[in-house]
Amino acid sequence: MKRLLIDLDACSQCDECGMLCSYTQHHYNNGITNLREFAHFAIVCRRCDDAPCVASCPWEALEMQETKMLKRYMMRCTSCKSCSRACPFGVIYPETIPFVISRCDFCLGRLRGDELPICLQSCAHGGIKYADLEENEEESVFKASDYLLVKTDYKWDRVKEPPKKR
Ligand code: SF4
Ligand code: SF4
């Protein structure tokens, strides 16, 4: 199955993302901002028990779900960036919280034959790939969802078993 792979380390080298996007719902859509936030929540967020990002939001727009994955309610978020300042680990980048949000639908159902998403063709930094790819922890490639893999060396060492009490 073909998946998008976003390389967060390559993305972080780029000052201003000029990636094109063919999502049809709004003209200035830049789906990569949406993917970057999702990738950070899925792979980089440390899932704090007290979640200062959630506590800092004046509009209850952030929620720590039962799965310990953060969710941002776009219709409540005013892009005040308080959550970005509150996170002690730098997980929430201010530029991925625009007031007018972007979406990525992985171009599902819109690609014909060997056609590639337009974002691949417009990123000069190799931040996005689209191919038959699988999770590969040795190469720092992690699955964030059925359609999205994330490559980054800036992951934290996730504890697979809870530490034993002393
Ligand atoms: S940017 Fe949005 S989610 Fe973050 S604190 Fe402000 S309103 Fe809440
Ligand atoms: S404060 Fe940062 S690391 Fe902690 S839950 Fe929020 S985004 Fe994740």
Q: Which two tokens stand for residue 15?
A: 């000052």
Is the distance from the beta carbon of residue 81 to the nearest atom of ligand 1 less than 6 Å?
yes
Query: Residue 164: what pLDDT?
Result: 55
Classify each residue of 5-35 as buried b or exposed e, where b means 16 or more C-beta atoms within 10 Å of its C-beta. bbbbebbeeeeebebebebeeeeebbbbbbb
* Model confidence pLDDT, tens digit, residues 97-116: 999 888 899 998 888 888 89
Mean of per-residue pLDDT scores for the chain: 88
Query: Residue 166: what pLDDT?
Result: 46
Q: Which of 57, 60, 72 to mutate to test the pocket of ligand 1 (most atoms within 8 A of CB)?
A: 57
Distance 70 CA to ligand 2 centre (A): 8
- CATH 3.30.70.20 fits domain 2-151: yes
Global pTM reads 0.86
* Model confidence pLDDT, tens digit, residues 126-160: 899 999 999 998 999 999 999 999 999 876 665 55
Query: Residue 163: what pLDDT?
Result: 47
Q: What angle do CA 60, 23, 121 make, to 5 degrees?
A: 120
- Listed by start position, the domains of the chain span 2-151
